[in-house]
Amino acid sequence: MFNVVVIGATGYVGAEIVRLLQYHPEISISCAVSRSFAGKPYSNIYPNLKKIFDMPLSTVDMDLLCEKADFFITALPHDVSKDIIPKLINEGKRVIDHSALFRFRKRQTYEQWYGTAHGMEDLLENSVYGLPEFYRDNISQAKLVANPGCYPTCAILGIAPLLANKLVYTTNIIIDAASGISGAGRKSDLAYSFCETHENFKAYGITNHRHTPEIEQELSLLTGEDIMISFTPHLLPIKRGILTTSYLNLKDNNLTSDKLYEVYSEYYKNEFFVRVLEPGVFPEIKNVTGSNFIDIGVTVDKRLNRAVIVSAVDNLGKGAAGQAIQCLNLMLGIDEKTGLTQPALYL
């Protein structure tokens, strides 16, 4: 068994990491860390895990934690990760981090969009973006993996085959996405309270959402061009799940939906967690909730000669915790599907 420490174990992402690792035959949580609930049994915070994971939560004692495992998953705010990650790396630990600190190739991009100094350019240069479908080999050798954002995961995987095969123009890309409320984290905020979200649907972060440059970076690296997108996220009155619709202008006037399906099927033929749906079938959130799968549906709007791509992930699954465990499997040198093949909840 491999031991792993989960720091930030009581937020929604941390809780999903803990839950998913209960299915894992080769990984044991040696320590679960929470400043807010230190000393309390984990199942007191999440009673669904009573008799399954009752371990008392630990506080942040770096010397003690470093004795517990060689692998760490951190699900912390950016300002907290900044204090913890360098210490872990200096101790020779291998880390998967959920903050945005190490997702960008350029420090300036982080500072511009997150409005705070970075100060760890040496770690940034050696971090790996944790999207296995793009960087599998690099992840397997990495000391520090930056787990991607949930919106970027859904958007990037949704449109990558179009750009990789040069089927579309790289300008005027429009991405609309809608996420469940758990994407905002486990915090008290009026905007995410029941009466503000129930039977409501709204856009937010219009033209300035922080996941915009993350999507642009990966699409630019894929194409070798400087890509800019129009990205608009929306808040759904559901607990979890993301549905993304992307619009890209085609170069070929004769490309059909069936041909587009063939392109996607070929591109993702070796990717277990990417499910390309048959022509005329499109993703639904309930088919991915609780799983590490991304579903993708494709079609061509012949009137406008535009590809319309619909993709769906669980923001807590493939969009966060599931993807982190997929990366951890690669770092451990075991089958990346291990512990992650359970189907979506559906109901």
The residues assigned a catalytic role are 150
> DSSP class of residue 58?
B
Which residues are CB-contacts of 142 (< 8 A; sequence separation ≥ 6)?
94, 127, 128, 331
* C-alpha to C-alpha distances, 98 to 73, 77, 121, nearest whole angstrom: 8, 8, 17
Question: What does R_g of the chain's alpha carbons equal in angstroms?
Answer: 20
* C-alpha to C-alpha distances, 100 to 80, 103, 213, 317, nearest whole angstrom: 12, 5, 11, 17
Choose among 189, 331, 333, 166: nearest CA to 263: 166
CA dist., res. 115 & res. 131, Å (int): 25
CA dist., res. 332 & res. 246, Å (int): 34
Which residues are CB-contacts of 203 (< 8 A; sequence separation ≥ 6)?
232, 233, 234, 235
Terminus-to-terminus CA distance in the chain, angstroms?
A: 33
Sheet holding 202-203, edge to edge: 202-203, 229-235, 173-179, 242-249, 306-313, 294-301, 274-276
Q: What is the DSSP string of 203-236?
A: E-STTT-TTHHHHHHHHHHHHTS---EEEEEEE-
Choose among 191, 189, 186: nearest CA to 204: 191
> DSSP class of residue 111?
H
Look up residue 94 and give its two tokens: 């291998």
